Amino acid sequence: MQNSDSTEVDMVNASQDTFQTEVIEKSRSAPVLVDFWAPWCGPCRMLGPLLEKLEQEHQGKWQLVKVNTDEEPALAGAYNVSGIPHCVLFSGGEPVDQFTGALPEHMLQEFLSRHIKDENVLKLELLASSDPIAAVRQILEMPSIDQGLSPVLWNGVKEMLRQGNTDDLKEALEAISSADLVNEKSALLNVLSEEPSPEEVQQLGKLFGSEKEIRDVLDQFMESLERNKGKQEKDRLIASFHLLGQSHPLVAEYRKKMATILF
């Protein structure tokens, strides 16, 4: 239904015949939230207007699709809907998250924020694809850092190491630490947060070079670990694995060598 307010979004109701087109296919370009509901359900009548309000506020970043479970029991069964309201978020053609019950607005915002990227995040991701360090510099000027910018910051740090650029490195690492964006890369942060010398930065930068250069660096770190099995020596190797990426062919090889030394 649409009224005279040009910002109101047309309500989409999906059936078994239209679900593939309205939900699966459309979720490949933007997230789709499916609201399984029924006319007799009181909590559904509370949740529905909130979802419609948020869809309008987010202006096309995601789409709301309604499924009446009385009319479409097969769809409800296909997605294991045992109670309503029940919402399933689709992205990339797959269900990726869900919740049951009439959540309050702040919890709905939190749920959506895990999957809907802010416009600033999208712009910075685009900039980072051509100039990772420029993207980091813009992030460092922001009053607060969105969790979604963590990959942009880390990629910028990698590029600084690749170039041997220490000018912005310390500030970027402080931002990562203060914004609680460490996660599994804590070993890398431990190695770099002690203000590494230009020589150490150059050494880590060689991890982006030829296979021979990478092996030379990893062999040096492995020799250090053999001499002293301390935390710093372990962190250097773990940090190197994160910089190379877990799918890099040398990572599995050197992880085995590291395990042999330690155990």
Q: Which residues are catalytic?
A: 41, 44
Phi, psi for residue 3 in degrees, rounded to 5: -110, -165
Helix axes 211-227, 198-205, angle to 10 degrees: 120
Task: Report how far apart the first and last C-alpha atoms of the chain are (Å, whole number).
Answer: 67
- Contact between 213 and 234 under an 8 Å Cβ cutoff? The reply is no
- Contact between 88 and 95 under an 8 Å Cβ cutoff? The reply is yes
Q: Residues 6 or more apart from 152 whose CB is under 8 A from it?
A: 121, 124, 125, 128, 132, 135, 136, 139
**Residue 12 three-state SS:** strand
